Amino acid sequence: MTRYQHLAALLEQRIEQGLYRSGERLPSVRALSSEHGVSISTVQQAYNLLETRRLIMPQPRSGYFVAPRKAAPPIPALTRPVQRPVEITQWESVLELFNSCLDNSAFNFGGGTPDVNQSSVKPLWKLMSRFCQRQDERVLNYGNMYGASELREQVARLALDSGCQLTGDDIVITTGCQEALFVAVRAICESGDIVAVESPTFPGTLQLLRGLGIKVIEIPTCPISGISLDALKLALEQWPIKAVLLVPTCNNPLGFCMPDKYKQSLVMLAQQFDLAIIEDDAYGELVYDYPRPRTVKSFDDDGRVLLCSSFSKTIAPGLRVGWVAPGRYLERVLHMKYISTGYTVTHTQLAVAEFIAQGHYQPHLRRMRMQYKANLDVFTCHVREYFPCGICVSRPQGGFLMWIELPEHFDSLRLNREVKKAGIQIAAGSLFSAAGKYRNCIRLNYALPFTQETAQGLRLVGEAVAKMFNEHGADDCCVESPVGPGQNQVS
Amino acid sequence: MTRYQHLAALLEQRIEQGLYRSGERLPSVRALSSEHGVSISTVQQAYNLLETRRLIMPQPRSGYFVAPRKAAPPIPALTRPVQRPVEITQWESVLELFNSCLDNSAFNFGGGTPDVNQSSVKPLWKLMSRFCQRQDERVLNYGNMYGASELREQVARLALDSGCQLTGDDIVITTGCQEALFVAVRAICESGDIVAVESPTFPGTLQLLRGLGIKVIEIPTCPISGISLDALKLALEQWPIKAVLLVPTCNNPLGFCMPDKYKQSLVMLAQQFDLAIIEDDAYGELVYDYPRPRTVKSFDDDGRVLLCSSFSKTIAPGLRVGWVAPGRYLERVLHMKYISTGYTVTHTQLAVAEFIAQGHYQPHLRRMRMQYKANLDVFTCHVREYFPCGICVSRPQGGFLMWIELPEHFDSLRLNREVKKAGIQIAAGSLFSAAGKYRNCIRLNYALPFTQETAQGLRLVGEAVAKMFNEHGADDCCVESPVGPGQNQVS
């Protein structure tokens, strides 16, 4: 941490502790300089940083003041989706999102892309380049349908961190986590089957199930502790559910980590109802507080959990390197992998295996976790500043995705159209529900380093929201409320 | 063509024309040298080449003699598969083939891998390396779900050669041709549907259909002109067939090219029965006689043909770059692509696009076509030499795959086990039929340059076949017969 960052952290702490109060004038640059024995420019840099984070405000010719603070918005409440199997819709909205992403001018808060530009990823470039310079023949040939053995061994080693005892032979490499989920579902389900999911759920999963003719039952999900096991049990008693598919660690889009004991209970429930569990752990390594939580798979003693993951969120999505540890479904998963894409691209598999083997992966992960956590703080400050009151905001425990719940009748699809005019992309909440619920919610991506442009983009979104609020007279809900479960039920 | 190749071609022509007869002594090296005004070593090289191709034999201290010739084995007859929809089996055999391919010591005649080691592919290494050295951010990011626009434009340009008027917007890039076929089938068919295929058919296709719960009806197929349109029409009149899936150009495994007029008639038949056509053109660019034949897609005027292809056979399979031009099914194909793998790896897409744009692709194709055609000649000579009589051999018009039909009760799965002991891999014919027919057939790959090792491997396969023949007293069928459709029906 540099001097100015250190000073900024100290000042922030004083503001948080109430030593400098909202609206109060802060010490002059000169005073701080002599108090802390640092240069004028160091103090100025510290103040600039705090200003970027909207904790303080400059007043021309008067110095800096503590910014007036709004209360932290509450966390969304337990979700309440429809409690019966439904057909999945929303493909058109997904397609619209993708097509508008094709416009490179868009400032993209909507996608699930990580930051791939940090220096800790640079060794990967070298490794990829080296395989080409050496003209490693494996890069051009089919390789092994299970995936490169070097990579499978590294994946098995990494899985130890989440409490899984795996070997390379337990793992099939896939074209990203999407293919891992696809072959996992195909290994278990047929058209007409019912699968239980968290609510809200990642659109890639919903569309996958839709494409396979599978119905989903969305289970109420707590934005802090994950899927409601009581609600799941009720659903299992009522419907012939084949599998439960979930993102229990650093959930997309809610950001929660399901507590270990709940994960264990989930496995017991699955055993009781003879259910398969498909666990999407794509964001699991990006948890802010290390060591990382255990996977559901780590509690599995009879091979019923299919653990799916990838390096798309942790290193880079363009590599298309994912994997599945399918337990007892290994052969069937292999069949499904063979028929869907045959083989996975070899070059990036070998490069990732070497990136891990050479010890670059863990430092890279540490860096990205720190960055995303820091981004979350800044991002939350700006959301608090720019968005009107009456919203609920998730408290992600990892990853780089934020879920914002707006009042019940808010139309995020319309918001999407509004902000798109300014070249901004958001993800409308309705994509995250089989039946198009959560239209009053949005998901924002905060992976990239926070810049003036980010602030500008967020301000525009916030203003568009406020404008739509005003039209409906919904801006009178700006009350200071303690942090806690929100009162706005997702209906 | 170098001098010695020119001389060898001339001598071969004379042998073919009967100017030098079987067993006759050829002119001395010295005599040929002065006759053609070339050096002694040029003549020696020409003789060496002809010896490798088993057209001539050296006799110590007596010079070279025209090798005794067996008749060219006949071409297999029109296939006669079961004429009703069947469930697909054979996955276990496919899995066995893959698992034994994992043993790198195996001499692999069984796979569908092209030769990726020729110098004409070297610019691709440089391009791949350059994208990494420049740290082109596109390599790490998700990119475009349709595929890189640079590549789609190049694919559209290439498609002109096969008579297709396409633009980049008509094309979706996929993870190899396997994903192209997968999303094409998924766009049209559901579990329980019936699809018509050529017989024999590429195992990847059969297992794909099996994995999707689709039944196939195998249509009698001529090893010279392709699927029987009469038989297809009869099947269409009798069964509710949803689509026909075929490899009409440089067919895998039979090597035929369906004549243009048949392709046109096929489209008309599809229109009459409102049928979709899935055309696998993975080997189409590897036809020996250029310009290449038209695709079925080029006759399509109402968007019912889904043209699937890849650069796996023409450049390298490890790149995993394929594509589909899905006609009227574009949006549905895109949905299926999104759910199965999301995105295609960007790096190899960009490298292939640049490889084509810089003009490396056509010279590379020319080289590979020449190599495969030359390999076919040598390979056929050796098969003729080492295999017992009573076999039928395909006459591939492109690609690098040969189909050998052995007498009716021959067991190629047993042959597979026998030769595997010697580290040799072949593809048993039963993999190529939904119901496990063609157990008396094998498919051999002749992509790699012919070496002593290849000859040794082929000799071992031939000897194993002969040994199995002898056990069944089937080796008395060595009669000189004219080249033409074989008498051994595939039952």
> How confident is the model at residue B105, as a pLDDT?
55
A4 with A46: CB under 8 angstroms? yes
* Percent of chain B whose pLDDT exceeds 70: 93
Task: Judge if A50 and A172 occupy the same domain.
Answer: no
| Under 8 Å between Cβ of A73 and A384 | yes
**Contact B320/A343, CB-based, under 8 Å?**
yes
Tokens of B367: 């080289």
pLDDT given at position B66? 86
Query: Is B424 in a helix, a strand, or coil?
Result: strand
- A353 min Cα distance to partner chain B (Å): 16
User: Are B318 and A133 a contacting pair at CB < 8 A?
Assistant: no
Which chain A residues are Cβ-neighbours of B121 within 8 angstroms?
140
User: Hey, is A79 helix, strand or coil?
Assistant: coil
> What are the φ and ψ backbone dihedral angles of B486, each rounded to 5 degrees?
-75, 165
Confidence class for position B85, pLDDT limits 50, 70, 90 = confident
Structure confidence at residue B2 (pLDDT): 86
Q: Are residues A192 and A335 in the same domain?
A: yes
Do B278 and B185 contact (CB within 8 A), yes or no? yes
Per-residue confidence (pLDDT) for residue B286, from 0 to 100 = 97
pLDDT at B381: 85
B83 contacts: CB under 8 Å, gap ≥ 6: B217, B231, B234, B235
Name the band, by pLDDT with cuts 50, 70 and 90, for residue A271.
very high
Question: CA A397 → CA A224, A262, B206, distances in Å?
Answer: 9, 16, 45
Pair (A140, A62) in one structural domain: no
Please list, in sequence order, all residues whose beta carbon lies within 8 angstroms of the beta carbon of residue B102, skipping any fewer than 6 positions away.
A144
Q: Would you call A467 helix, strand, or coil by DSSP?
A: helix
Instruction: Write the single-letter amino acid at B330.
Output: L
Out of A91, A98, A179, the one facing B341 most closely (by C-beta) is A179
Out of A387-396, B2-11, B139-148, B149-158, the most confident range is: B149-158
Question: Nearest-CA neighbor of B193 among B208, B213, B210, B218?
Answer: B213
Residue A13: predicted pLDDT: 84
Q: Choose from B338, B344, B354 for mutation: most chain A CBs within 10 A.
A: B338
Burial class (CB in 10 A: 0-12, 13-18, 19+), B191: middle
Q: Mark which of A17, A44, A66 sits at the end of a domain.
A: A66
Do B142 and A211 make contact, defined as CB atoms within 8 angstroms?
no
Distance from CA of B335 to the nearest CA of A (A): 7
Residue given tokens 């590429």 in the structure block: B202
Q: What does the pLDDT look like over A25-80, one tens digit per residue?
A: 899 999 999 999 999 999 999 999 888 877 888 888 888 988 876 667 888 888 88
> Which letter does DSSP use for residue B316 in this model?
-
Full residue range of the structural domain in which residue B160 is found: 135-360
Whether residues A58 and A144 fall in one domain: no
Mean pLDDT of chain A: 89
What is the pLDDT at residue B19?
81
Q: What is the ipTM of this complex?
A: 0.83
- Residue B416 inside a domain? The answer is no
pLDDT, one tens digit per residue, over B241-289 is 999 999 999 999 999 999 999 999 999 999 999 999 999 999 999 999 9
User: What is the C-alpha to C-alpha distance for residues A335 and A341, in angstroms, rounded to an integer?
Assistant: 10
Is B351 within the bounds of a domain?
yes
d(C-alpha A350, C-alpha A149), whole Å: 9
Which chain B residue shows the shortest CA-CA distance from A127? B132
* Count of C-beta atoms within a 10 Å radius of residue A31: 12
pLDDT at A41: 94
DSSP labels for B112-146? Answer: ------SGGGHHHHHHHHHHHHTT-GGGTS---TT
A322-325 and A172-174 strand pairing:
antiparallel
Which residue from B minimizes the CA distance to A102? B144
The answer to whether the CB atoms of B338 and A191 lie below 8 A apart is no
Q: What is the mean pLDDT of residues B446-458?
A: 92
Separation of CA A473 from chain center: 32
| 3-state percent breakdown (helix, strand, coil) of chain B, nearest 5 | 45, 15, 40
- B59 compared with A287, residue with greater pLDDT: A287
Question: What are the tokens at B311?
Answer: 């650069």
Residues of A whose CB is below 8 A from B338: 94, 98, 178, 204, 207
Task: Say yes or no for a CB contact (<8 Å) between B178 and A102.
Answer: no
Does B399 map to a domain? no
Q: How far is B414 from chain A (nearest CA, A)?
A: 24
> What pLDDT is stored for residue B477 in this prediction?
38
CA–CA min distance A64, chain B (Å): 39
Say how many residues make up chain A: 491
User: Is the pLDDT assigned to residue A480 strictly greater than 70?
Assistant: no
DSSP state letters, A364-431? HHHHHHHHHHHHHHHHHHHHHHHSPSS-EE---SBSSEEEEE--TT--HHHHHHHHHTTTEE-EEGGG
Determine the 3-state secondary structure of A355 from DSSP.
Answer: helix
Record: contact A340-B116, CB cut-off 8 A:
no
Question: How does pLDDT run across A155-183, given as a tens digit for each residue?
Answer: 999 999 999 999 999 999 999 999 999 99
Residues A347 and A264 in one domain: yes
Residue B470 pLDDT grade (very low, low, confident, very high; cuts 50, 70, 90): confident
Q: Confidence band (pLDDT; 50, 70, 90) for A2?
A: confident
Residues in chain B: 491
Residue whose tokens read 């003009």: B359
**pLDDT score recorded for residue A332:** 93
Which residue, B14, B36, B66, sits at the end of a domain? B66
Decide if B175 and A175 are in contact by the 8 Å CB cutoff: yes
Measure the CA–CA gap between A195 and A191, rounded to whole angstroms.
11
Tokens of A438: 């959560």
Could you tell me if A38 and A140 lie in one domain?
no
Of B95, B320, B340, the CB nearest to A345: B320
Q: State the nearest Cα–Cα gap between B49 and chain A, in angstroms.
A: 28
Q: What is the DSSP letter of A38?
A: -
Picking from B137, B179, B190, the nearest residue to A117 by CB comes out as B137
pLDDT score of B260:
97
- What is the rounded average pLDDT of the residues B204-216? 91
Q: Hey, what are B470's tokens?
A: 């002898």
Q: What percent of chain A has pLDDT over 90?
A: 66
Q: What is the mean pLDDT of residues A204-233?
A: 94
Quick one: pLDDT at residue A489? 34
CATH number of the domain encompassing residue A23 = 1.10.10.10
Q: How many angstroms separate the first and last alpha carbons of chain A?
A: 45
Residues B157 and B255 in one domain: yes
For residue A217, is it within any domain? yes
Q: Is residue B26 part of a domain?
A: yes
Asked whether B352 and B151 are in contact (CB, 8 A), the reply is yes
Residues of A within 8 A of B340 (CB-CB) are 178-179, 182, 208, 340-341
SS3 A39: coil
**Residue A488 pLDDT > 50, yes or no?**
no
Q: Which of A122, A186, A320 sits opposite B343 (nearest CB)?
A: A320
Give the residue from B134, B173, B245, B339 with the most A CB atoms within 10 Å of its CB, the best one to mutate. B339
Rounded mean pLDDT of A330-348? 92
Return the residue in A91, A345, A431, A448 with the most chain B beta carbons within 10 A, the one to mutate for interface testing.
A345
pLDDT surpasses 60 at A341? yes
**Considering CB atoms only, which of B144, B179, B345 is closest to A340?**
B179
Q: What is the distance, to the nearest Å, from the Cα of residue A316 to the centroid of all Cα atoms in its chain? A: 14
Question: Could B347 and A128 be called an inter-chain contact, meaning their C-beta atoms sit closer than 8 Å?
Answer: yes
Look at the block and give the residue holding tokens 């909440």: A429
Kindly state whether residues A244 and A323 are assigned to the same domain: yes
pLDDT at site B106: 62
Q: Tell me, what's the pLDDT at B484? A: 37
pLDDT of A103 over the 70 cut: no
Q: Look up the CATH number of the domain holding residue B324.
A: 3.40.640.10
* B470 in a structural domain: no
Torsion sign over Cα A136, A140, A145, A147:
positive
Q: Tell if the CB–CB gap between B125 and A132 is shorter than 8 Å.
A: yes
Cα A40 to Cα A32: distance, rounded to the nearest angstrom: 8
Q: Inter-chain contact B343–A334, Cβ cutoff 8 Å? A: no
Q: What average pLDDT score do residues A456-485 get?
A: 68
pLDDT of residue B486: 38
Residue A402 lies in a domain: no
Using the beta-carbon criterion (under 8 Å), do A346 and B175 form an inter-chain contact?
Answer: no
Domain boundary among the residues B315, B334, B360 is at: B360
- Give the distance between the most distant pair of CA atoms in chain A: 73
- The span from the CA of B154 to the CA of B161, in Å, is 12
How far is residue A76's CA from residue A225's CA, in Å, rounded to a whole number? Answer: 12
Q: With bands split at pLDDT 50, 70 and 90, how would you rate the model's confidence at A235?
A: very high
- Give the minimum alpha-carbon distance from A478 to chain B in angstroms, rounded to a whole number: 39
Query: B25-47, pLDDT tens digit by residue?
Result: 899 999 999 999 999 999 999 99
**pLDDT of res. A486:** 38
Domain presence at residue A91? no
DSSP state of A204: H
Q: How many CB atoms lie within 10 A of CB B301?
A: 9
How many other C-beta atoms lie within 10 A of the C-beta of residue A360?
Answer: 20
Same domain, A52 and A157: no
Whether residue B148 sits in one domain with residue B37: no
**Preceding amide of A407 cis, omega within 30:** no
CB distance A140–B91 less than 8 Å? no
Do B144 and B232 belong together in one domain?
A: yes
Question: Model confidence over A241-255: pLDDT tens digits?
Answer: 999 999 999 999 999
How many distinct structural domains can be found in chain A?
2
Check residues B144 and B255 and name the one with the higher pLDDT. Answer: B255
pLDDT of residue A483: 37
Angstroms from A391 CA to nearest CA on chain B = 31
Q: Do A356 and A207 lie in a common domain?
A: yes
- Residue A90, pLDDT score: 72
**What are the C-alpha distances in Å from B165 to residues A107, B157, B300, B325, B425?**
35, 9, 10, 11, 41
Q: How far is B337 from chain A (nearest CA, A)?
A: 10
- What CA–CA distance (Å, rounded) separates B329 from B54? 51
Chain B residues inside the 8 Å CB shell of A129: 129, 132-133
The Cα of B427 is separated from the nearest Cα of chain A by a number of Å equal to: 16
